[in-house]
Amino acid sequence: MRTSLKTECDTEKANRQDVATEYPWFALQVRARHELGITNYLCGQGYESFLPLYKCRKRWSDRVKEVQSPLFPGYLFCRFDPQDRLPVMKIPGVMQIVGANRVPLPVDEVEISAIQTLVASGMPNQPWPFLQVGERVRIESGSLCGIEGILMDFKGTHRLVLSITLLQRSVSVEIDSALVSPTSLSQRSRLEKTIAARRPFQVVT
């Protein structure tokens, strides 16, 4: 009997995962330091969830240890039917679904894809202040090929900053400015002038 119930449960989870891919991503605000546990619980219930992590160094009383922490502390991402969101809201630790006027707003699919590509690349990255100004460029080669961002000056280093607009949060990763090109001819001429001046670059998306 238990085997039969387990099989039915597994089948239900598999069906939910198949259906979930049709729904958009939503951002869940959760209790601090509960991101991983809630993500694992969602996966166990058949939801497609995404918790981007980064490596950082934390100092303890007697040593410095490298640990993985959420790129967006207090937030994770999940696909689900917004018309059937009550099961998600009832999960212990989930505070709210990010939206406006109590209406959940989906996260831009392109932004989620960019963060997933960044995490999968294994390149060093870290949380970053949200930025939304400057000129758009495109990464032309490497593991982040195809990702677009905004070129900016930043203290002599070249960085690609990926943003989740809905959360007003960003993530930065080191990038070689030689790998980027402007997304329009008008930007190309301005970019050439910037390169000629030998100014440092930063990429923001």
Average pLDDT in the chain: 79
Of the pLDDT bands very low, low, confident and very high (cuts 50, 70, 90), residue 18 is low
Question: Structure pTM?
Answer: 0.70
Fill in the amino acid letter for 1: M
69-73, 121-125, 186-190, 198-202: range with lowest mean pLDDT: 198-202
CATH number listed for the domain at residues 1-106: 3.30.70
Residue 34 confidence (pLDDT) = 97
Of the pLDDT bands very low, low, confident and very high (cuts 50, 70, 90), residue 128 is confident
Q: What is the pLDDT of residues 53-97, one digit of tens each?
A: 999 888 877 788 889 999 999 999 999 999 999 999 999 999 999
23-27, 105-109, 144-148: range with lowest mean pLDDT: 144-148
Residue 63 confidence (pLDDT) = 82
- Locate the domains of the chain by residue range: 1-106, 108-205
Q: Three-class SS string for the chain?
A: CHHHHHHHHHHHHHHHHHHHCCCCEEEEEECCCCHHHHHHHHHHCCCEEECCEEEEEEECCCCEEEEEEECCCCEEEEECCHHHCHHHHCCCCEEEECEECCEECEECHHHHHHHHHHHHHCCCEEEECCCCCCEEEEECCCCCCCCEEEEECCCCCCEEEEEEHHHCEEEEEECCHHHEEECCHHHHHHHHHHHHCCCCCEEEC
Residue 6 confidence (pLDDT) = 44
Give the end-to-end CA distance of the chain in Å, rounded to a whole number: 53
Q: What is the pLDDT of residues 147-188, one digit of tens each?
A: 877 666 556 666 667 788 899 898 877 777 667 777 764 444
Q: Are 53 and 35 in contact (CB under 8 A)?
A: no
